[in-house]
Amino acid sequence: MAFFQGAAEHRVPPETREYIELLQRRVKPGRVPEVFYALAEHPRLLKAWVEAQQAFIPIPNRFGAAQHIAGMLIAHARGCQACFSTSRAVLATLGFDDAALDRLCESPGALPLEERERRVVEFTLRIARDPGTLRAADFRELEQAGFSREEILEMIGVAAYWNLATTLAMAVDAGLREE
């Protein structure tokens, strides 16, 4: 038997329901990952997670699909299945098919994106994976490429959010698995 159990749809507590419904609208017609239902009994934590998601990766957002592609690639790099499927569900609603998304995951270096979008994805991925290696020159280069300071802060926020989401989702998922 698993350590955590996800709440069945009809047993989601009233104080948590609005957050589950927000998630359902984001991934529609996909399914909300079980890890969110496993936090349904803990409204404060679920609320914090969903509100962080809404704040850092709103739909729509200023970077469009690039922001969700970055999320998918961060989830893929970390091996977080729940975040990976959530990102892909959002990208599917934006017109990306499975084959195109698979190619992106296999070869992120060859992203078929506009230069600006490609930079957003690559820099966000770098912040998420190795923020300690960033130097002032990296940020100057982005500013010289036309990104505003506010846009760069947005990228940091997206990367930081995915580091929260992948950590929490992978850890909760471990508690949902049976031996």
Decide: helix, strand or coil at residue 81: helix
Residue closer to other proteins by CB (options 69, 123) is 123
Output 92 or 105, the one with its CB closest to other proteins: 105
Residue 47 CA neighbour count, 13 Å, CB half: 10
Q: How crowded is the C-beta side of 29, counted as CA atoms within 13 Å?
A: 1
Tokens representing 155 are 């990228």
In the complex, the smallest distance separating the C-beta of residue 98 from other proteins, rounded to whole angstroms, is: 24
Question: Which residue lies nearer to other proteins by CB, 59 or 156?
Answer: 156
Residue 64 structure tokens:
């469009």
Give me the least distance between CB of 71 and other proteins, in Å please. Answer: 14
* CB nearer to other proteins: pick between 65 and 172: 172
- Supply the minimum distance, in Å, between the C-beta of residue 96 and other proteins: 26
State the minimum distance, in angstroms, from the CB of residue 17 to other proteins: 18
Question: Smallest gap, in angstroms, from Cβ of residue 173 to other proteins?
Answer: 8
Shortest distance (Å) from residue 166 CB to other proteins: 7
Interaction site with other proteins (CB under 8 A): 2-4, 39, 41-42, 45, 48-49, 52, 78-80, 127-128, 131-136, 138-139, 152, 156-157, 159-161, 163-168, 170-172, 174-175, 177-179
Cβ atoms of residues 162 and 175 within 8 Å = no
CA 75 to chain centre: 7
Q: Which is nearer to other proteins, 19 or 49 (CB)?
A: 49
Residue number, 8 or 137, with CB nearest to other proteins? 137
**Helix, coil or strand: residue 113:** coil
Q: Around 35, how many Cα atoms within 13 Å sit in the side-chain half-sphere?
A: 21
Q: Before 58, cis peptide (omega within 30)?
A: no
Residues 162 and 75 sit within 8 Å (Cβ to Cβ): yes
